[in-house]
């Protein structure tokens, strides 16, 4: 069974149909980059996969958890699916380690000792082992984003979703975060990422999905898709100076 299966998903906001019958399958350990112009439905698709948006029709299966229009099973699904956004959403009144320990303790009910162990482990994984007791406001934007990744990893998810996590960062800090994501990919983490970093998508993603007008317009192995786009829309997108 694929770890992520999206079948015939439609999503509307009022009268506007944003997703128009999405089909997508992701195997364990696969890294899938979702690219496309603003408004093509990329972030909405990611939010539907995590249950943050309720779909009108279709079916989503993630890590053995089913989601349909009724949104049953949402709590169990989120234990196995981590999501990181453009904004870091760290609690400013909690130190870095406390931010990471919170969800395992509250959602999973692990002990304080186990939560601390997870926080220390994941901070080391994102290259911030020494910042356990730091306040979020004393970190750079890139460091805060890496803490946000560590916070999701502390839940030990089976799938990680990244929604344009570098779009608010300058190039140097973007490099920090992308290097962290590349290490996760190398360690076999199943990942779906919405990104405008075309070079990163081509290098790291096993599969790239090009979305256009609420549909999966083109999809395939990243090297093939970037080197030989099949549709005029993707050729125009890649020719727009974004690669």
pLDDT < 50 regions, the chain: 241-243
Across the chain, which distance is largest between two alpha carbons, in Å? 55
Tallying the residues shown for the chain, one arrives at 243
Q: How big is the CA angle at 160 (ends 197 and 94), to the nearest 5 degrees? A: 100
pLDDT of residue 90: 94
Q: How would you classify the pairing of strands 159-163 and 190-194? A: parallel
Sequence spans of domains, the chain: 4-238
pLDDT of residue 243: 43
What CATH code is assigned to 4-238?
A: 3.40.50.300
pLDDT of residue 71: 57
pTM for this model (two decimals): 0.92
Question: Residue 43 — left, alpha, or beta (φ > 0 → left; ψ -120 to 50 → alpha)?
Answer: alpha
Which sign, positive or negative, has the C-alpha torsion 88, 92, 95, 99? negative
Rounded Cα distance, 125 and 119, in Å: 10
Going across the sheet that includes 65-67, the strands are: 16-26, 4-13, 57-62, 65-67
Q: pLDDT tens digits, residue range 35-94?
A: 999 999 999 999 999 989 989 999 999 998 887 656 566 778 888 999 999 888 899 999
Burial of 160 (0-12, 13-18, 19+ CB in 10 A): buried
pLDDT of residue 220: 95
């Amino acid at each position: 069974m694929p770890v992520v299966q999206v079948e015939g998903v439609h999503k509307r906001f009022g009268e506007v149909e944003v997703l128009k019958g999405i089909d997508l399958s992701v195997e364990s350990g696969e890294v899938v980059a979702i690219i496309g112009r603003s408004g093509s439905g990329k972030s909405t698709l990611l939010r539907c996969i995590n249950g943050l948006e309720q779909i009108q029709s279709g079916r989503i299966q993630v890590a053995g958890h089913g989601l349909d229009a009724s949104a049953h099973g949402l709590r169990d699904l989120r234990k196995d699916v981590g999501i990181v956004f453009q904004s870091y959403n760290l609690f400013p009144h909690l130190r870095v380690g406390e931010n990471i320990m919170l969800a395992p303790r509250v959602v999973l009910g692990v002990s304080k000792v186990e939560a601390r162990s997870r926080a220390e482990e994941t901070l080391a994984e994102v290259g911030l082992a020494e910042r356990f007791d730091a306040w979020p406001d004393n970190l750079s934007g890139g460091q805060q984003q890496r803490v946000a990744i560590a916070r999701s990893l502390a839940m030990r998810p089976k799938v990680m979703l990244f929604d344009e996590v570098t779009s608010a960062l300058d190039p140097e800090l973007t490099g920090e975060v992308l290097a962290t994501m590349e290490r996760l990919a190398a360690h076999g983490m199943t990942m779906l990422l919405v990104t405008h970093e075309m070079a990163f998508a081509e290098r790291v993603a096993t599969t790239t999905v090009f979305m256009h007008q609420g549909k999966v317009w083109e999809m395939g192995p990243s090297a093939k898709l970037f080197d030989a786009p099949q549709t005029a829309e993707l050729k125009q997108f890649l020719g727009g100076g974004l690669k």
